[in-house]
Each structure stands twice: as C-alpha cells, then as structure tokens.
Amino acid sequence: MQLVVARIGRAHGIKGEVTVEVRTDEPELRLAPGAVLATDPPSAGPLTIESGRVHSGRLLLRFEGVRDRNAAEALRNTLLIAEVDPDELPEEEDEYYDHQLIDLDVVTKDGETVGRISEISHLPTQDLFVVERPDGSEVFVPFVAQIVTEIDLEQQRAVIDPPPGLVDDRAEIASARDEDAGA
C-alpha cells in the first residue's frame, strides 16, 4: 500500500537541498537516509534520500543525483510516497494510518448513525474526518480526543461525542447580550 509521507517545498541553498512538508507521524522512519520513495508525478522519481537535517524548525532533505538549486526547484510540489505493508501499525497506540480509518462507520456515543469516513483531511492545526452521510451530504469531524472518543478497528467504527450543531441542527448560538438583563 502506498502512503504519502511528504510534499517537497522550495529549494534551500545552492547545493540541492529542499524543504519538505512532512505528512507522516514517523518521519524518522519514512524519511531516513537511504529511503527510496515513489513520487507524484511519477516522472520525478523514484527519489532516494541521501541526507536530512532540521533547520529553523523545517526538515531539509537532499536526494541522490540532485546537486544544485535548479534541480531541487524542479521537484517543488512533488509528493513523496512510501510503500507500506497494509498490516503494519503505527508505533503509538492511539495513532492510525489513513487507510485504517477510511470506510469506518461513524456513530454517536448514543448509537446514532452519522455516516462513513470517506477521506481524512490533514490540516496544519488538526486532522478532519470527511464523513459521508446516508443522504450523500458531508460533515467534517475534527479528529480530536474530545470529539472522537473511540476507534474500534475490529467493529469498523468510530464513536464520536459531537458538540451541538456539529452533526445536527441543534447549534447553540452565543450572544454578546445577556437576554435576562432588561434594557
């Protein structure tokens, strides 16, 4: 199974290094020197990581055969894809690969069916489940412990405790005025 582990950003310096936007919780495993990664677009790869380092909080990689800024800049926006055994599990207990979560049924803690996870959206601040409802509409569920209370891979379901308005129309509207105070 293929897993997107990073996106190549801009060139860094003049010797072929690139910045990367990491898309894996295991960069030390997936983006280590010697790793051979497929690419999207396929014509850019495969790429073999020669070295990596952190600079000002960003991961920089150098690939075999990429020796100057022009060659590095030509790789910009290329996705790096690792081949992963589908039965492999993440190192941490409460971590999951996207392929483990896609197609899970989503139910509330009360047993009400919400829908099925159709996609995982990886945003800078948090991940979101894109849940397709039985009527074909979509709802976005933040993948945070306060809302997603249980992932049960054996039962193929995700249990959520959504705040009012997330999956229904019971939103609570906050008002800047206190309605009890007489004007």
* Mean pLDDT in residue range 156-168: 88
Inter-CA distances, 125 with 38, 49, 74, 178, Å: 27, 27, 28, 32
Question: Residue 180: pLDDT above 80?
Answer: no
pLDDT at residue number 24: 76
With bands split at pLDDT 50, 70 and 90, how would you rate the model's confidence at 149? very high
* 138-142 sheet: strands from edge to edge: 138-142, 127-132, 113-122, 105-108, 157-160, 148-152
Average pLDDT over residues 137-144: 91
* Rama region for 99: left / alpha / beta (φ>0; ψ in -120 to 50; rest): alpha
Reported confidence tier of residue 121, pLDDT bands at 50, 70, 90: confident
Residue 183 has pLDDT above 70, yes or no: no
Contacts of 60 (CB under 8 A, 6+ apart): 12, 17, 18, 19, 20, 52, 53, 54
pLDDT at 107 > cutoff 80: yes
Task: Round to whole Å and give the CA distance between 166 and 144.
Answer: 13
Condensed to tens digits (0 to 9), the pLDDT of residues 29-76 reads 888 899 999 998 998 889 999 999 988 888 999 999 999 999 999 999
Which residue from 94, 71, 81, 83 is spatially nearest to 41, judged by alpha carbons?
Answer: 81
Please provide the average confidence, as pLDDT, over all residues in the chain: 85
Please determine, for residue 86, whether its predicted confidence score (pLDDT) is greater than 80: no
The pLDDT confidence band at residue 172, using thresholds 50, 70 and 90, is: low
Sequence-separated (6 or more) residues with CB below 8 Å from residue 79: 4, 6, 7, 8, 39, 40
Q: Give the model's confidence band at 140: pLDDT under 50 very low, under 70 low, under 90 confident, else very high.
A: very high
Token pair in block for residue 42: 């396929």
Proportion of the chain above pLDDT 70, given as a percent: 87
Give the per-residue pLDDT at 62.
94
